[in-house]
Structure 1
C-alpha cells in the first residue's frame, strides 16, 4: 500500500472510525430484523419475477447478520459513497499494489483449500488419526503426545483448517468413547495446527500476504520460520502437560481405546493417494518456481491443480453413479421377474405393489460413534462428523431420488463445496480496500512514523518482541489475523520504503509478524482467526461448549511461552544470518 503524506482531515478521521467500527463488529457480530414491509416487498418482487415460489402460511421476516462476511463490504460502500476513497482504491484492494496481490493470494488459498478438503473427504486424516491413536495404546500421556505430534505434522503440510475440520470431530468422538474430559485434547490440537501453519506460505492467508508484500520465495520464507516453529512446538507441550492440564482429570494415565479398525475411516483410498500426490506436487512446484526466480504467478500453479482435483472428484462420482444405475437396473429386473413368477403361480399378494412402493431405498451411512443412520443429504451437511462407514442397501425409490440431483449424482463435490472458505473472498478483498483507504487518507504515514521512532530507539530485540506482541493483540481486535496482517504489513512496507532500516531489523519485524499472525489464533478471543470461529462452531455441534473467558484463561500461558520461545530463537537467527 502506498503511503500518502497528507494532513489528517475530516475524511481521514471518518475513514479510521469506519475501519475501527468494522473490526469491532467483526469481533462481536450482531443481527437485526429486516423490516417487515421491506421483506414483504422483496418477496413479492421475487415471486412476480418467478425467482421465488409463493409460500403457504405466515413466514416471519429473517434477520440480517452483521459479521465478517457482510460488514467489510458495507464499510467499503460507505467510504465510496462519502468519497473518502475512490474506484482506484477499490481496484488496488482487489488487484493489489506494491507487491501485494490479493487476487493471487485468494486464488492460491481457495485452490489449495479445495485440494485439502477433498483429500480430507476421502477419510485420510481420520484414518491417520486412528492409526496414530492405536500406536498410543492405553497410555494416556503417550497418546496425548502422539496426537500432538500428529497434528503438528499434518498441519504443517495442509494448514490449520483441514486439521480443524476433521481433527476436531475425531477428538470429540475419541474422548467421548474413552470417557475422557475433552478440553486438554482439543486445546492441544488447536495450538498445534496453528503453530504448524507458520512454516509454509500456502498454509495460511496471512503468510501469503507477507510473502507477496516482500517478494519472498516460498523457500526463503520457510527457512526463516521453521526454527521458531520448532522452538515453540517443543516448549508448548510441557506447558500444556504440566501447567495448563496437569491432573489426570484432563489427561488420564490409562485410556480405553475405541475398537475401530482405522481402515474403516479410509472411504476412498484411490482419492487419498491421488490427492496426496497432487498436493505435494503443487507445493513442490510452488517452492521450486519461486526459489528459481521464475516469473510464474502462484495462481498459474494452484488453479490448474485445484481444477484437476475437481475433475477427479467429478469423474469418481460419475463412476459411482453409473454403478448405482446398473444396480438399480438389475434390481428392477429382479422385481419384475419376481412379480411375473408370483403371478404365474397365482400367489400374487395384494400388498406387493404397496410394499415395493414403500420400500426403503437409500444409501445408509452409519455413524460409528452413535450408531445413527443418516441420509446422503444429512451426510453432506454433517460431513464434519466422526468416522463413517458406508453400508449400501439397494431398492428402487430412493436410488432414483439419489441420482436425481447434484448432491446425489456427485456427493463428493457436493460435500466439499460447502466447506470451501468462499466467505473469505469478499472479506479479504474488502479488508485490503479498507487498509488502502487508511493509507490514502494519511493514517499510514502517522503509524509508520510512530513505528520508526520506536525501532530506532530499541533495535532488533525491541522490534521483534513489540511486533510479536502487537500482532497477537491485533489479531483479536483488528478483524481476525487477516485484517491485522494486512494493516501491519502495510506499515512495515512503508517503514522499509521510507526509512530503509537495517536488514536485521526489517527481517526481524517481518518474521515476528508472521509468528504473531499465526500464533495469535490461540490467544484471547475466538475471532482472532477464522479458524477459531470454525473450531468453536464444530465443538458446539458436538456438544462441547467453550466460553471466551475459558478460551483466554487456558491459552494465556500457552501463547506467552509460544511467542517468547519463537521470538527468542528468531532474534538469535537474525544475529547469525545478518
Structure 2
C-alpha cells in the first residue's frame, strides 16, 4: 500500500460513486440562466463523465488515460467492441421496423401451436398476442442468450477481451467453454422452471376471435427479406473469419453500412413511387397533421404493438408483474396503439399560459424540426430506427474504460494483484473460484461485464500466475463475464442496458428490483455449476 496516496483514494471513491449513480440515478431540479427551471439527472449518461471531469481537473488522470480508455492497451480495443455493438444493433432494429418479428409472433401452423423463437422484440409481440405473462419468457430469453454467448469468440465482447488479453486461440476458447455452457444451461433452466412454474406461462393458441394474418403486420416484406439474409450472412462471416484473428468491427461495420445504404435507397424508391405516404408542406410546417387519423397513420411506422394485444402499464401484484390483454379480431391485430394525450386541466392550462417555458433559438429549432419531419417521411426506416439506437451507451462504456485506466495509473491494479496472489497463492483451483466470484460481483459494480473483464484481465496479468493458473483464471472469467450479465443490475452488461431500452420502447417498464429478484436463483446455480465444471476441466488438463 506504499504507492497509494490521496489521488489514488479519490480515484477509487469516484469510480464506485459513479457506479452507484448508474444503478440508482439521482434527479433534481435546478434553475439555469436563459433556460429556466429544468430537471437534471446524475445517472447512466452523466455520472461516469462527471467522475472523469473531476479526476482530470484534480490531475488524478491525464490525457493518456483518456486515450487508452478509447483506443485500448495490451491488445484490448474498446472501440472494436462498441463498433460491433452499434453495427449489430442497427441491423437488428431496422429489421424489427419492417414488422417481421411481429408477423412471426402471429404465425400459425395449420391452427396448431404457433412457432416461437428467441428475441426481445419477438417475445414482446408473442406474449402480447397470446395473452401470456411476458416476465418468464423475457427473463428466460435474456438468461439463455447471455449463457449461450460464452461458447463462441464473437458471442460476447468480453470473449474478445479474454482471447486477446490472454492470447487464447478461438477454437481452444470454444473447446474450453462448451462444457461449462451446457452445465450452466441446465442449471439455469432448472432455476427458471422452478420460479416460473404455472399454467399462465405455458404456450397456447392465440387469444383472438378471427384468423390472424401475419401479412397484415409485415409492413415492408422486401426490406424484411433483405435484412434477414444480410444479418444471417454477417453473423456467419463473423464466426468464420474470427478464427483468422481479424478485428470483428472490420467485418460487421461493412454489413451495417450496406444495410444503411439499402434502407435509404429502398425508402427513396418507395417514396417517389408513392408506396409510402408523402408529407405535404402544410403538415411539415405544422408538425403532425390536425386530425387524429392522419397522426395515427404517420406514427404507425414507428410503433409495433397491436392495439388490442399491446401490453399496458405493468403492475406489481405479489412481486409478479402482469399485463392486461383483451380479445381481438384479425383486423384489429394489425392496428397500432397510439397513446392519447390527456386533456390538461383548466388549472394546469392557466399555469402553463402564465409561465411559458423559454426556448433558445426557437426559430432555428423550428426550421430544423421541419427538415427533420420531411426527411423522416422520405426515409422512414432510418429515422424510425435512429432514436432507438443505443448511442447513449457509447459515452458510458468509454467512460468506464477510462476510469479503469485511471485505477491502473493510481496503482490500484498492482494492489489488487498483490491481494489476489495472497488469496490464491497462485494455485489453479483457488484462482478459478476467486476470479469467478469476483467476476460476477464486479459486473454489477465496475461498469458492465466488459469493464469487469478488462479489470480482472489486467489484475491476473500483473499477478504473473503460472501458465496453468492463468489459463484456469481466463476460462473462469469467460464463464463469469457471460453469466454475470444475468445479474442484479441492468448495468451489469451492455446487453442488459439494451434489453431494458428495447422493452421501454415497446411500452414495458421493468423494475430494477424485479430484474434482480428473478435473476438471483439462476445466477447462483449457474455460478456454482459453471465454476465446478471449469475446475474439473483444469484438473483433468493440468
TM over 0.5: yes
Q: CA deviation at 1:203?
A: 4.1
- Counterpart in the other structure of 2:261: 311
Q: Which consecutive residues of structure 2, in runs of 5 or more, have no partner in the other structure?
A: 281-289, 311-331, 337-369
Matches within 5 A, 1:26-425: 26-34=22-30, 36=31, 39-41=32-34, 43=35, 61-131=37-107, 137=112, 150-151=117-118, 163-164=119-120, 166-174=121-129, 177-178=130-131, 180-216=132-168, 218-241=170-193, 243-248=194-199, 250-252=200-202, 256-258=206-208, 259-293=211-245, 296-324=246-274, 363=297, 365=300, 369-370=306-307, 389=334, 405-425=374-394
Q: CA deviation digits over 1:18-63, x for unaligned, max 9?
A: 11111111111112323x2xx233x4xxxxxxxxxxxxxxxx5221
Q: CA deviation digits over 1:157-196, x for unaligned, max 9?
A: xxxxxx33x135225513xx53x44432332222222223
Query: SS of the counterpart of 2:162?
Result: helix
| Native 8 Å contact 1:194 1:518 kept in 2 | yes
Matches within 5 A, 1:462-477: 462-477=430-445
Normalised to the residue count of structure 1, the TM-score between the two structures is: 0.72
Q: CA deviation digits over 1:532-557, x for unaligned, max 9?
A: 34545555676765544443333222
Q: CA deviation at 1:93?
A: 1.1
| Residues 444 and 326 of structure 1: CA distance in aligned 2, closer, same or farther (over 3 Å) | closer
Output the CA distance in 2 between the equivalents of 1:306 and 1:130: 28
- Counterpart in the other structure of 1:17: 13
| Residues 121 and 6 of structure 1: CA distance in aligned 2, closer, same or farther (over 3 Å) | farther
Q: CA deviation digits over 1:447-469, x for unaligned, max 9?
A: 01111223336x33332233222
Q: CA deviation at 1:318?
A: 0.7
Output the CA distance in 2 between the equivalents of 1:211 and 1:301: 18
| Residues 326 and 487 of structure 1: CA distance in aligned 2, closer, same or farther (over 3 Å) | closer
- Counterpart in the other structure of 1:516: 480
Output the CA distance in 1 between the equivalents of 2:185 and 2:212: 30
| Native 8 Å contact 2:70 2:401 kept in 1 | yes
Query: SS of the counterpart of 1:405?
Result: helix
Higher helix share: 1
| Residues 418 and 9 of structure 1: CA distance in aligned 2, closer, same or farther (over 3 Å) | same
C-alpha RMSD of the superposition: 3.6
Greater displacement, 25-34 / 115-124: 115-124
Query: SS of the counterpart of 1:234?
Result: helix
Size of the alignment, in residue pairs? 474
Normalised to the residue count of structure 2, the TM-score between the two structures is: 0.76
Output the CA distance in 2 between the equivalents of 1:306 and 1:388: 31
Largest Rg, 1 or 2 = 1
1:447 aligns with 2:397: no
Output the CA distance in 1 between the equivalents of 2:111 and 2:417: 51
| Residues 18 and 509 of structure 1: CA distance in aligned 2, closer, same or farther (over 3 Å) | same
- Counterpart in the other structure of 1:572: 536
Query: SS of the counterpart of 1:69?
Result: coil
| Residues 104 and 528 of structure 1: CA distance in aligned 2, closer, same or farther (over 3 Å) | closer
Query: SS of the counterpart of 2:28?
Result: strand
| Residues 558 and 388 of structure 1: CA distance in aligned 2, closer, same or farther (over 3 Å) | same
| Native 8 Å contact 1:171 1:186 kept in 2 | no
Q: CA deviation digits over 1:344-373, x for unaligned, max 9?
A: xxxxxxxxxxxxx98965746496632599
| Native 8 Å contact 2:307 2:334 kept in 1 | no
| Residues 74 and 358 of structure 1: CA distance in aligned 2, closer, same or farther (over 3 Å) | closer
